[in-house]
Amino acid sequence: MSVNIILICVVLLIIQRSVVSLKCYKCSGGTPGCGPLFNAKDAGVTIVEDVGNIVCLKMVHLSNDRFMERRGDTTSCTTSISSPSATTDGSVNYCCSTDLCNGAQIKLASIMLGLSLATLILFLTK
């Protein structure tokens, strides 16, 4: 019986992960909370949840490292440095693919869900 409960919990976690779209922080340089001292609760920072997002991106401009941009993106990317050109000042792009990974916050809800499931499994297997 306890094996069935564990399997059900694993299936529910997989389904939850596949149904939920990727959440990313969105803000751009000059807005409150978006700079090097990131503050997710500041007025200039929003959370966007778009089914089309496959990555979250944090872009740090080379000409001014205090000017940052955070957003979701529909194209795949890798962490990279783009050189300055006639139209851009160059930037370092940090790409990631988990919820709210382009900020600096701990995902408390995921930790709480994991601890709750572990407690439930331990309780039911005794």
DSSP secondary structure letters along 74-87: SS---SEEEPP-SS
Do the Cβ atoms of 42 and 35 come closer than 8 Å? no
- Determine whether 18 is exposed, middle or buried from the number of CB atoms within 10 Å of its CB (0-12, 13-18, 19+): exposed
What pLDDT sits at residue 45?
95
Q: Is residue 31 part of a domain?
A: yes
CATH number for the domain that contains residue 86 = 2.10.60.10
**How many whole angstroms separate alpha carbon 64 and alpha carbon 89?**
9
The answer as to whether 116 is a domain residue is no
Q: Average pLDDT in the 13-28 region?
A: 69
Domain assignment present for 70 = yes
Q: Is-above-0.85 flag for pTM?
A: no
Q: Percent helix, strand, coil in the chain (nearest 5)? A: 30, 25, 45
pLDDT tens by residue, 2-15 = 655 665 545 445 54
Write out the residue range of the structural domain in which residue 61 sits. Answer: 21-111
Does 121 map to a domain? Answer: no
- How far apart CA 104 and CA 124 sit, in angstroms, is 35
Residue 91 belongs to some domain of the structure? yes
